[in-house]
Every structure is written in C-alpha cells, then in structure tokens.
Structure 1
Amino acid sequence: MPINKQAVEELERRRQATEAGGGRKKIEARHAKGLWTARERLAHLFTEGTFQEYGQHAQHESRQFGMEGKDLPGDAVVTGVGYVDGRPVASFSQDFTVAGGSLGTMHAEKISMIMDQAEIGGIPVVGFNDSGGARIQEGVMALSGYGQVFNRNVRLSGVVPQIAVISGPCAGGAAYSPALMDFIIMIREGAEMFICGPEVIRGVTGQATTKAEIGSADVHASVSGNIHFVAENEEDAVGIVRRLLSYLPSNNMSEPPHHIEPELDLAEDPAMNDILPDSGKSPFDVKDVITGLSDPDSFLEVQRDFAKNIVVGFGRIAGMVVGYIANQPKELAGCLDIDASDKGSRFIRFCNAFGVPIINLVDVPGFLPGVRQERGGIIRHGAKMLFSYGAATVPKITIIMRKAYGGAYLAMCSRDMGADLVLAWPTAEIAVMGADGAVNILYRGDLDKADDRVARSRELADEYRAHFASPYISAGKLFIHDVITPSETRARVALALRTLLSKRETRPPKKHGNIPL
C-alpha cells in the first residue's frame, strides 16, 4: 500500500516548522550579530548528510503557567548524532530563537537522551550552550531537568570526551553543565557565562560590576581559568572542536587516534642543542622545545592564557598522540603555584582517563613562595599534582632540562612518582634546593671567614652542583634512566613511546582515591 500523500505533506510541514525555529526575523537578527543558529552550528560541525536528528517533534507541556498555546519548535534544542572526520559524535545545540533557548522538561529530556545515546554508543558529546537559563514557567521541573543533565555529565566523565561550546548566554545553574565537561570553548564576542549577574551581585553585595568583568571569554580564559579555548567567532569555535576531537579517542576503551608511522625517524635534531641560553638563570620559551619534539604543526595548547607558568596541550610525536605538561621558565621562572597545580592536575587526569601518554618537560625551581600562596592552600593544590601523577597509569616520560628542585621535582613526575622513563640533559640540576640557597645554609661559617665572600660563594656553589646536583649522580642511583643531549630527545622519546603504547598497569582494587580538592 503506497504511503498517504497527505501524511507525507504533513510530515514535511512539521519538519519545516521545526527547522524554522523562532522564525525568519529572529534568525536574521542573529546573523546581523555574526551568530549562527542552532542548526547552522551542527551543519558546520558534521560531515554533510550524516546528521541524524533525535526528538525533532518534541513538545513542551502547553498547560504550564504562562505557556498556554505557545509553540516551541523542538522545545528550543536540536539533538542528534553525526560524523566528524569519519567518527560518530553526539551533539546538542540550544536554540536561542525559541524561548531564548530556555531549558524546560522536554528540553532537558532531549539533552539527556542524546547523552544516554553517547554512553551506549561510546562516542564523544559536543554541546552548544546558548540559553537564557531555566524556563521560569516550569518551576522546579526545570531545575529537575538541570539535575538530570548534570548527573549524566558526571556519569559520562572519564567514559567519553565531553566538549562544551559557549555560543551565547550561559548563566546561573546552566553554567554547571559545561563546567562538568572536559573542555570549554567560548566565543569572544556575544557569549557570557556566570552564576550571578551584575544586578544580583550589586543587590546582594553592593558591588558594581559588568558582565564583561565577570563573564567574558577573556576573563574566563585568563583570570578564573574556567574555559580552555577562546574562539574568535562561531566558525573558529567549530574548528577548535574538530581539531580537539582529532586527538581524542571516542571513549575510554578505545586508543587515541595515533597515526603510527611504519618506520621511526631516529635522526638527531641539532637545533635542539641551541634552545637553552648560556646562563642557567636566563629564561627560555619551553614551547620551542615542544615544537622541536612534535610533528610539524601538531601542538594544540590548552588554557593558553591561564597559569602561563605551566604549558599543557596535545601534540603528536612520530604520529603518536601525546599530552604535554611543561614548566615555562618565561613565567614566574617556571615555579609551580596554585593555579598551575590545578591546571596541570586536571590535564593529567584527563590524559589518564583516555589513554593519552604524557610527556613532562621539567625546569622547575620549586613551588612559588609567598604568604598569599601559603594562605591560599598551595600545600593542598600542589598535592593535586602528586596525586594525579601517582594515580596515572598511562605511559609517562619525563625530560629534565635544567632545574628540578625539592618537592617540585617530585611533583613534575619523577621516577618515584611513576615515570616510566626519565631522561636528563647535561644541564640538569636535581637537588633538594638550588646551589645558592644550599651554600648559604650549609657553608655559612665558611663564607663568614672568607676574604672574598662572593668568589667563595661561587666556588662552593660549583662544588655543590658537582657533588649534589649533577644529573650523573641521579643517573648513578637510577633516579633517572639516562643523560642525553637535547638533539637526541625526539628520537629517544619516539622510541620509548612506541615501546610503551602496550603498557598495562594494575592497581589495588578500590572505588576511587581521594584527591586533595
């Protein structure tokens, strides 16, 4: 029996009505601001023709207070599954043209359904957040909807990668869903994210502020550290999503998308020998080392503008996906502080959850001293680094370039903290503290008697380095595996990665450890 023509026409009418969202005028208003619609974002993310929409005909409860007779196409969110570079990805995209993208019962149910689909299928989730918040007319039911979404964010954490894009407003409780995801990308203009807006803050505290001061992309990228990437526009945001996905496995049971080369290039790189300055106290840019280790144009820095004294990000070495954790001597001399510890720890834990090998580049004089750091809990925050490395079972390779002093030496993944391979450059100094500080403590009496205190101090410092801090002392005690030249580093790391990709490590059975949060 052929299908009824009227039924086909009715289906097409309903599809067109839903795809029109809030209507032509609202869509044109978005375009005038340089913003895309919910469907346009998905069209740019997914390979053409691969997106399968779920819940297109979902409807809100029309009997709710103040919503009688109102039509909310798709209940203000588009959900479905499509393909990105040949791999399936689940996604939801809130539609601001429909009721301001507000979240109600059916809206939350659609997001929950697509996240359940991601869990079942073992595929990443990408969420485009563009919402005025909870739908007030639905009262506690809207809050329940948020709870359902948050619960799924937590359930999927460490199971499949979760990426949030802040494409418009994301205020109040709505901000907690992206905060529970792995990476947040925020558009520089037109997006905002905060718990309490300026009016609420002024009403409660009397403090005057603006949305830009508390909720802009630049503030979250550089001050609060809430987001990981700033996108210049919608197209840039989708591009970052696609690039980020290219480093990530689909789920925690899959391997990262390595591009294994049949034969390793083990040639030395003489340019690496010229990166370090002549003086051990002069700064250098650790990103030059990362560039030298990585395949061309493969490094993707994460949280570039936050806690700049540590650099984290993804890259490839001989086709193998890796995560980098690197001290940055250009900022705070590479010291670990509260923010750097938080930034590094979270990235380590992500890499461990999804099987990404970790490369540690070390030039750290210690934890940042100061009353503010101590009162801010540097002990607790620094312990996160120790916990994260100690708990990580993925391949971990550590390169000690220059300084590695005190507890920070351990906190940057020493062999005792679980590094599978520790290599040191000849310039490395591994000790409880720097030579100058040690001399002042150990040889104070000798210095007081010296005719030329400065010359004697230098002489004793050189002796301390030779007898206590030399990398050969650590190599002799097997705290490090070998001393190498910088030019050998890429080849040695690539070879080690290839042998460590099959690493298997088991731990005592337990529900989970108790990280010092």
Structure 2
Amino acid sequence: VATFVGADEHDVLDEVKTLLSFLPSNNLEQPPSYKSADDPGRECAALDTLLPDSPNVPYDMKDVIVEVVDDGDFLEYHAAWARSIVCGFARIDGRSIGVVGNQPMVLAGVLDIESAEKAARFVRTCDAFNIPLITFVDVPGFLPGVDQEHGGIIRHGAKLLYAYCEAAVPRISVITRKAYGGAYVVMDSKGVGSDLSFAWPSAEIAVMGPQGAVEIIYRRELADAADPVARRNELVDDYTQRLANPYVAAERGFVDEVIEPSQTRRKIVAGLRMLESKREELPERKHGNVPL
C-alpha cells in the first residue's frame, strides 16, 4: 500500500522532499536538472567484475544501479513489494531518470503478477512526468505455476508491455545477462520501441536459456548419445555461441551496441544527451485501453 516508508515523521518528510526533487511541477515541464560533481564520463570499473562466473549465481542489481547513477543516490520505489524487480528514481548527468531492473537476488529476477504491475505503474508515472527511463535487463522468463496462470500472468505482463509501448520519453535498455523469451520482450526491448539497447558481453538473448533449449531440440540425440552429459555440454556451448550471445543479436538489430560493463554510465549519458530533443507524436485519442 505504502510506496515509501520512513522511520518517523521527519524521515517521511525527507523522503517526500527527495521525491519532489526528481519531479517537474506538472506534465508540461521538464524534470529539474542539477549540475553534478560526478563525472559523466566516469568509468564503472567495479561492473567489469560484478557478475559471477556462473549464470546461475545471483547478484544484486542495485549494485549495478548505484554504480551507474550520479553519486550512487537511488530512491527506491515500493522497495518492500514485488522485490524481483527494482524501480526507483535517480540522476545521471544531473538529469532525473526512472530506473527499472530485474533483481536476480529474488526469484532469479523472473516477472510475476506483482512485479509486472509494479513496473508498469512506475513506467507510466515516469512517462506522465517526462522522466527518461533506463531499464537493466536480466530476466529468465515469467514465473511458472498454476497460481500465476489462474491469476492472469499474461494479462498482467501485458500491462508492462503496454506501459513501455505507450511511453514517449527517452528509453534506454541495458542487457546485463539473461534476456529470454516473452519476458525479455516486455522489458523495453527494441521490439517495443526502446530508443537505444546496449548489451554486456555476458548477455544471453534467446527464446529460452541454452540448457532448456538443448533439452528440447536435441532430446532424441541426447537419449541415444554414448555420453549424454558430455554431449549436452557440447550442444549447450554450440547453442550459446551460435544463437544466445549478444553479437548475434546485434547483427540482427535487436541490440544497438555490445559494450563493456565499465562503459555503461558513459554510454547512457551519451544516449540521454542525444535523446534530449526526442519528440514522439502519439495518435490523438482520449486515452489508451490498458489491459486491466
């Protein structure tokens, strides 16, 4: 229910002041900007060694966000709810931005009903106040299960898809690791209109993960193999090299550039400066029909 929580009245008032510092007075104004002492061209060297060697080992997406934004200041939105996704306000190059990122530390960063709703609400809020969106992607898919299906996970996931498609503000995405299937599509992919899409060399962009894909595509071959484990490992490596790496995605136009993690802040700053004059013309209508 509560978007922000404070220890006492003074803490809450400080939170409100901080929140208002990111927002314009109305939807016709641009968000306030401040001169930052944090070098816009600063390298984020810590990001080069942040990701674990194994794609199955989690890391904290907040560490990525704090490293990239100005002075490490990040005001998290609904911090205690739907924790498999992180949303919040920050600044880059002195400009207000909205940040959305999958959280591998919680449910491996999957999208479920609550996280899709949380992110959709946040994206629409940023769009309403002309705040650019930066999306950090590490999503293995939608959360499976009967409860999610009966609860309408597809409909709720469509809310996030709709929110991104309708957002007219500058939108930049950074794929850090996993970007699988429909969940990747709704996380501000190029297919739904992201202005710029960057990927780290560790990114795996595919319909599904290499392990799952190999189990399905080569099921009969693995069953007949003299050493199924060794053959599976060979096929996983082949699938990753041919289909799941970011360079193939870049060749096909799904990614604009593969960048070193340490260059993330610099690339986002350059992208936001380029998109500062973005003006997207939307069709004249009363309002869209959000999938409620």
| TM exceeding 0.5 | yes
Corresponding residue number in structure 2 for 1:433? 208
Corresponding residue number in structure 2 for 1:237? 12
Whether the 8 Å contact between 2:38 and 2:93 is mirrored in structure 1 is: no
Q: Percent identity?
A: 51
1-structure distance, mates of 2:288, 2:194:
19
TM-superposed CA distance for 1:449, in Å, is 1.1
Corresponding residue number in structure 1 for 2:121? 346
Corresponding residue number in structure 2 for 1:313? 88
1-structure distance, mates of 2:264, 2:131:
19
Q: Deviations over 1:327-378 (max 9, x none)?
A: 0000000000000000000000000000000000000000000001000110
Whether the 8 Å contact between 1:348 and 1:389 is mirrored in structure 2 is: yes
Give runs of ≥4 in structure 1 deviating > 6 Å. Answer: none
Whether the 8 Å contact between 2:168 and 2:280 is mirrored in structure 1 is: yes
Does 2:78 align with 1:303? yes
Does 2:185 align with 1:404? no
1:160-171 matched pairs, under 5 angstroms:
none
User: What amino acid does structure 2 have at the position aligned with 1:431?
Assistant: A
Greater relative contact order (Cα < 8 A, sep 6+)? 2
Does 2:54 align with 1:283? no
Q: Over aligned residues, Cα RMSD in angstroms? A: 1.3
Corresponding residue number in structure 2 for 1:382? 157
Whether the 8 Å contact between 2:111 and 2:139 is mirrored in structure 1 is: yes
1:124-203 matched pairs, under 5 angstroms:
none
Paired residue secondary structure (1:399):
strand
Which of 103, 117, 134 is the matching residue for 1:328? Answer: 103
Larger Cα-atom Rg? 1
Corresponding residue number in structure 2 for 1:53? none
1-structure distance, mates of 2:266, 2:174:
13
Whether the 8 Å contact between 2:38 and 2:70 is mirrored in structure 1 is: no
Does 2:291 align with 1:516? yes
Whether the 8 Å contact between 1:264 and 1:495 is mirrored in structure 2 is: no
User: What amino acid does structure 1 have at the position aligned with 2:122?
Assistant: F
User: What amino acid does structure 1 have at the position aligned with 2:71?
Assistant: P
2-structure distance, mates of 1:407, 1:247:
31
2-structure distance, mates of 1:500, 1:360:
15
Does 2:226 align with 1:458? no
TM-score of the superposed pair, with normalisation by structure 2: 0.97
1:14-33 matched pairs, under 5 angstroms:
none
Corresponding residue number in structure 2 for 1:256? 31
Corresponding residue number in structure 2 for 1:501? 276
1:484-495 matched pairs, under 5 angstroms:
484-495=259-270
Whether the 8 Å contact between 1:337 and 1:378 is mirrored in structure 2 is: yes
Whether the 8 Å contact between 1:405 and 1:434 is mirrored in structure 2 is: yes
Does 2:251 align with 1:476? yes
Corresponding residue number in structure 2 for 1:446? 221
Corresponding residue number in structure 1 for 2:139? 364
Corresponding residue number in structure 1 for 2:168? 393
1:96-107 matched pairs, under 5 angstroms:
none
TM-superposed CA distance for 1:262, in Å, is 10
2-structure distance, mates of 1:379, 1:419:
21
Q: 1:297 to 1:266 in 2, by over 3 A?
A: closer
TM-superposed CA distance for 1:470, in Å, is 1.1
User: What amino acid does structure 2 have at the position aligned with 1:415?
Assistant: K
TM-superposed CA distance for 1:272, in Å, is 1.3
Structure 1 unmatched runs, 5+: 1-225
Whether the 8 Å contact between 2:40 and 2:265 is mirrored in structure 1 is: no
TM-score of the superposed pair, with normalisation by structure 1: 0.55
2-structure distance, mates of 1:262, 1:318:
9
TM-superposed CA distance for 1:261, in Å, is 5.6
Paired residue secondary structure (2:111):
coil
User: What amino acid does structure 1 have at the position aligned with 2:9?
Assistant: E
Corresponding pairs, count: 292
Q: Deviations over 1:429-458 (max 9, x none)?
A: 100011111111110111011111111111
Corresponding residue number in structure 2 for 1:293? 68
Whether the 8 Å contact between 2:204 and 2:245 is mirrored in structure 1 is: yes
TM-superposed CA distance for 1:264, in Å, is 6.0
TM-superposed CA distance for 1:269, in Å, is 2.2
Paired residue secondary structure (2:137):
strand
2-structure distance, mates of 1:227, 1:459:
50
